[in-house]
């Protein structure tokens, strides 16, 4: 079998790691991949949004399955183009990927089908938006209505902050020319509920919790994620059943009814509020860094799962290990704002933890930083405390002049 994975981050490294564990012994390609992925796959220099390039390569190499990791490729219709060319592709169509690419689409869908989420209104006019914020009061949440790599959300505690966010998004078009969704502020622990979805059928994965803020104690700016662990003890079996039955399944059904059936990974970013579990956002793909703590717990053959989802074939069972995983992101100093690249990394050999590469490159046999988030160190244990201790010990062994990390990953579960 020939498998091509699109993307270049830790998520794709974890997907490829799971594919490499399959007894099928597939030949794996990655486009464009990274220095860590290169240990398991042949990296080819094609951009993750280059639809034509990917289709052409897949034909040339007789690829049996393409797995599209990042949202950008999905949003430009990579799965549609591959499917049209007769190549099996795991991931939603461009139309179904709107559930992530357009917050307005997602919110309207949830409203229409009574899926629990924060109250909201959509604006493209600055003055009207500001008037609404004044009426509703703070705290209030302002979201840019497009893809902004996890950085288009402002939790405004004061009217001044809200006003600044509206100016950035609607007057100065900081992320591009799109409207904003203004949302009611919700409070409570968050968790990531990813499900394999073949349109009709929804298969839950083990849940995880991301840490979005840059610094310890959940301080500082929002990032793509600074660490994660799985499972999440504060989320009960009842919470999960509720989330599956009242959020994930109805959303998949709603997508079918709307004529945009969702195939791939439907990711619910959920919050356990005092009035029940509610949707913060949907993503149309595996989460990053969640995937890197969830897939190491997968015991079933991921290639079978991907193929069954693509072919809409019923899956009997998906097996997960009872181990607990916890991972720590090493990010470039300055991330998520300005940061420099090209710093040498040593100490990666002989660690017990899995080290997923998020943004690295190799030159003359040495590793260098090549992104905002650089490495993700994931350890397994019987308990969360054990996994954390192992992950921290290995993180400390990695040497680089320009990386920082949080030492408090898992704190919401460990410091109760």
Residue 83, C-beta contacts closer than 8 angstroms, at least 6 positions apart: 89, 93
Q: 275 Cβ partners below 8 Å, 6+ apart?
A: none
Residue nearest to ligand GLY (CB): 287
Residue 355 interacts with which of ligand AMP, ligand GLY, none, CB < 5 to 8 Å by class: none
Structure tokens at 322: 């009872």
C-alpha 388, offset from chain centre: 21
Query: In whole angstroms, what is the distance from residue 249 CA to residue 242 CA?
Result: 10
Give the binding-site size for ligand AMP (rule: CB under 6 A).
16
The yes or no reply on residue 288 touching ligand GLY (CB under 6 A) is yes
Residue 385 binds ligand AMP (CB under 6 A): no
Minimum distance from residue 416 beta carbon to ligand AMP (Å):
20
Angular region, 363: left φ>0, alpha ψ -120 to 50, beta rest: beta
* DSSP type of residue 342: -
Segment contacting ligand GLY by CB under 6 A, of 284-292, 299-307, 368-376, 382-390: 284-292
Binding ligand AMP by CB under 6 A: which of 212, 263, 297, 357?
Answer: 212
DSSP per residue, 36-90: TGGGTSEE----TT-HHHHHHHHHHTT-SEEEE-SHHHHHTTHHHHHHHTT--EE
Nearer to ligand GLY, 130 or 154 (CB): 154
Q: Is 269 in the site for ligand AMP (CB under 6 A)?
A: yes
Closer by beta carbon to ligand AMP, 143 or else 272: 143
283 binds ligand GLY per the rule CB under 6 A: yes
* From ligand AMP, ligand GLY, none, interface partner of 142 (C-beta below 5 to 8 A by class): none
- CA geometry: angle at 289 spanning 285 and 293, to 5°? 100
Per CB under 6 A, 9 contacts ligand GLY: no
List the x/- string, 215-234, binding to ligand GLY by CB under 6 A.
----------x---------
Interface pattern 332-371 for ligand AMP (x via CB under 6 A): ----------------------------------------
> N- to C-terminal Cα distance for the chain?
47
Pairing of strands 202-204, 219-222: unpaired
- Main-chain phi, psi angles of 271, to 5 degrees: -130, 135
Specify the residue, 143 or 357, whose C-beta has the smaller distance to ligand AMP.
Answer: 143
CA distance 35 to 217: 31
Binding status of residue 185 toward ligand AMP by CB under 6 A: yes
Using CB under 6 A, list all residues that contact ligand AMP.
Answer: 118, 141, 143, 150, 153, 155, 183-186, 190, 212, 222, 269, 280-281
Using CB under 6 A, list all residues that contact ligand GLY.
Answer: 150, 210, 225, 283, 287-288, 290
């Amino acid at each position: 079998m020939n498998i091509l994975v699109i993307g270049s981050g830790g998520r794709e490294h974890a997907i490829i790691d799971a594919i490499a564990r399959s007894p099928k012994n597939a030949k794996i390609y990655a486009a464009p991949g990274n220095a860590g992925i290169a240990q398991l796959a042949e990296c080819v220099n094609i951009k993750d949004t280059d639809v034509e390039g990917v289709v052409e390569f897949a034909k040339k190499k007789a690829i049996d399955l393409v797995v599209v990791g990042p949202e950008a490729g999905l949003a430009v219709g990579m799965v549609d183009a591959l499917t049209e060319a007769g190549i099996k592709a795991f991931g939603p169509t461009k139309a179904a990927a709107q559930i992530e690419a357009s917050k307005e689409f997602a919110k309207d869908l949830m409203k229409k089908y009574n899926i629990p989420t924060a109250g909201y209104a959509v604006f493209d006019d600055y003055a009207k938006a500001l008037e609404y914020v004044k009426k509703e009061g703070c705290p209030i949440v302002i979201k840019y209505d497009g893809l902004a790599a996890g950085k288009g959300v402002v939790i405004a505690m004061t009217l001044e902050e809200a006003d600044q966010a509206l100016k950035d998004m609607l007057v100065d078009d900081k992320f591009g020319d799109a409207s904003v969704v203004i949302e009611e502020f919700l409070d409570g622990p968050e968790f990531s509920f990813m499900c394999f979805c073949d349109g009709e059928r929804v298969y839950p994965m083990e849940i995880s919790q991301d840490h979005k803020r840059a610094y310890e104690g959940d301080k500082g700016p929002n990032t793509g994620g600074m660490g994660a662990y799985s499972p999440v003890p504060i989320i009960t079996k009842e919470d999960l059943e509720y989330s599956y039955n009242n959020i994930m399944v109805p959303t998949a059904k709603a997508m079918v009814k709307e004529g945009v059936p969702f195939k791939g990974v439907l990711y619910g970013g959920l919050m356990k509020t005092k009035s029940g579990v509610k949707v913060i956002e949907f993503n149309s793909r595996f989460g990053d860094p969640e995937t890197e703590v969830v897939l190491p717990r997968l015991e079933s053959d991921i290639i079978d799962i991907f193929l069954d989802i693509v072919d809409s074939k019923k899956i009997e069972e998906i097996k997960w290990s009872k181990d607990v995983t916890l991972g720590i992101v090493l990010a470039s100093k300055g991330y998520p704002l300005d940061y420099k690249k090209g710093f040498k990394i040593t100490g990666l050999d002989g660690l017990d933890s899995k080290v997923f590469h998020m943004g690295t490159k190799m030159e003359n046999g040495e590793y260098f930083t090549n992104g905002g988030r650089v490495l993700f160190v994931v350890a397994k244990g019987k308990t969360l405390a054990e996994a954390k201790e192992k992950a921290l010990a290995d993180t400390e062994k990695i040497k680089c002049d320009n990386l920082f990390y949080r030492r408090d990953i898992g704190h919401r579960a460990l410091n109760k």
